[in-house]
Amino acid sequence: MNIIVCIKQVPEGLDVKVDPVTKRIVREGVKSIINPYDLYAIEEGIRLKERFGGNTWVITMGPPQAESAIREAIGMGIDYGVILSDRKFAGSDTLATSYTLSLGIKKIGNFDIIICGRETLDGSTGQVGPGIAEHLNIPYITYVSKIIDIKENKIECRRLMEDHYEIVRAKLPILITVVKEINEPRIPSLKNMLRAKKVEIPIWNAEVLSGDESMFGQDGSPTRVIDVWTQTIKKDGRRVEGQPEELADEIIKELKKIGVI
């Protein structure tokens, strides 16, 4: 079984910098981590290999510094990794990103399952996974909380919904997006960490991918960010003192003033 995991580096913490001209997140020179949801995707890819055998890949699109994310995934137990990096990819929205990743996946070659985290913390759209599946013309299942079984070229999954679960079956090859409930990511082993330091990480640019360059980066992105701002939340408070029965009356008066009751 061949398994490909799509991952992304996101800024660490809440200190996100935005370019005032382009309105895009500044990634170069910013301390980044693997998107937390993608850690569950990596772990599930490794577990599938342990259950069914085969090879595992991680693929990411971003600046060269994304190499650290690839090596971390290999340290967890992934076999191979590749970075898609080119100035032509800059400014990609979810459509252009999913297109570029689909080209990288095609270049890797045969696959049975593609795994993505449910969403990224810096975008929270959950669109890239399904977008990749559409570009590759394969089925997809979102919000997978458990892979029940894979046999006879079919997969059976438990899918997390708002107030219930669904059991979904589909044919391979397939793309799935996973939620936190699916597993607990492992700590990288010393053996794999040593291997991760030595392995060569190829970087594929636009020329290598041989795609339609009008669909790369900002040119291929119909989404336009008009403005970005930080919301300021003001919290007003009032301290009321007195006996319990007096406090109850005061609280009711305050709630009536603000229209709660």
In-domain check, residue 71: yes
In-domain check, residue 125: yes
pTM of the model: 0.85
> For the chain, what is the total number of helices (H) and then of strands (E)?
7, 11
Domain count, the chain: 1
**CB-CB contact of 215 with 99 (8 Å):** yes
**CB-CB contact of 122 with 16 (8 Å):** yes
In-domain check, residue 85: yes
* Structural domain harbouring 125: 2-220
In-domain check, residue 235: no
Q: Quote the pLDDT of residue 131.
A: 98
pLDDT tens digits in sequence order for the chain, 261 residues long: 999 999 999 988 656 677 777 766 666 667 889 999 999 999 999 999 999 999 999 999 999 999 999 999 999 999 999 999 999 999 999 999 999 999 999 999 999 999 999 999 888 899 999 999 999 999 999 999 999 999 999 999 999 999 999 999 999 999 999 999 999 999 999 999 999 999 999 999 999 999 999 999 999 999 988 887 777 777 777 777 777 777 888 888 888 887 878
Q: Quote the pLDDT of residue 217.
A: 95
The alpha carbon of 79 is separated from its chain's Cα centroid by a whole number of angstroms, namely 20
In-domain check, residue 13: yes
Residues whose CB falls within 8 Å of the CB of residue 185, separated by 6 or more in sequence, listed in order: 39, 40, 42, 43, 76
In-domain check, residue 256: no
Phi/psi class of residue 72: alpha, beta or left (left: φ > 0; alpha: ψ in -120 to 50)?
alpha
In-domain check, residue 183: yes
Q: Quote the pLDDT of residue 28.
A: 63
Query: Which is it for the CA torsion 7, 11, 13, 17, positive or negative?
Result: negative
SS3 assignment, position 118? coil
Check which CATH number belongs to the domain holding 9 and give it: 3.40.50.620
In-domain check, residue 233: no
Q: Is the peptide bond before 173 cis (omega within 30 degrees of 0)?
A: yes
**CB-CB contact of 38 with 59 (8 Å):** no
Tokens representing 36? 């937390």
